[in-house]
Amino acid sequence: MNPLHRFGKQAIFVYLLVWFIGSLWMMAVLGSNAPQGNFLGINMAQYHDYACFGFAGALGGTLYGLRMFHEHYEALTTQWVYWYLMRPVLCFGSAIITIILFESGIMLLQVDDSMSARISLAFLTGYGYGKFMEKLRDLTTTFFNGKSSGNGTDGNGNGGGNGNGGGNEKA
C-alpha cells in the first residue's frame, strides 16, 4: 500500500495548516514588537522587518498550497510531496529577496514605502511563487547576458542551443 494513501495526505494537510497558522501567529508576534534582543545570535531588531516579509511570503505560499491540495486531493501522488513540503520554505525566502530587490532598485515597481505595502508584496510573491521565479529568471538573463528572454534566447545566451543565436542577435 502506498504510504501516501494511509496518512500522507493528512500529514501534508496538517503540515500546511501549521505553516499557515504559524505564519499568521508569527506576523502577529512580530507586529507586537515582542521579540527583543538576540535569538540564536541574530539581532531581532535588525531583522524584524525581513522576518515579517518572510512570514508574509510563507503565508501566501501556504495559502496557494492549501488551495492546490484542496483542488487536487484525489490526484495527489508521491511526486508532489516534495512540492508541498518545500513551498512554504521557498516562499519565505523568496519574499525576503523580493523586498530586497525592490529596495535596491534592481526590480522596478511603484510600491509605497509603508510596511503594509511591502508585506502585501511579500504575500503576493509567496502566492505567485512560480511567476516570481519566471520573472527572476528573466531578470538574471537580462542582467548577466544583456538580453531579454523575449528575444528567442534559451537563457544561456544563445537561441535554443544551436550556436547561431537563433537569428535574433545583431552583429
- For 58-102, how does the pLDDT look when each residue is reduced to its tens digit (9 = 90+)? 999 999 999 998 888 877 888 888 888 999 999 999 999 988 888
The Cα 11–Cα 120 span in angstroms is: 29
The type of residue at 152 is: G
Domain total in the chain: 1
Q: What is the pLDDT of residues 11-35, one digit of tens each?
A: 889 999 999 999 999 888 888 876 6
Does a structural domain hold residue 159?
no
Hey, is 155 helix, strand or coil?
coil
Does a structural domain hold residue 165?
no
Does a structural domain hold residue 171?
no
- Output the CA–CA distances (angstroms, integers) from residue 96 to 50, 59, 72, 122, 125, in the order listed: 6, 13, 29, 7, 9
Looking at residue 167, what is its pLDDT? 39
Domain hosting 97: range is 3-148
Does a structural domain hold residue 84?
yes
Q: What is the pTM of this model?
A: 0.74
Full DSSP string of 119-148: HHHHHHHHHTHHHHHHHHHHHHHHHHHSS-
Does a structural domain hold residue 163?
no
Does a structural domain hold residue 157?
no
The Cα 75–Cα 69 span in angstroms is: 9
Matching residue, cell 504510504:
3
The Cα 89–Cα 19 span in angstroms is: 9
Query: Residue 129 has which C-alpha cell?
Result: 511563487
The Cα 83–Cα 68 span in angstroms is: 11
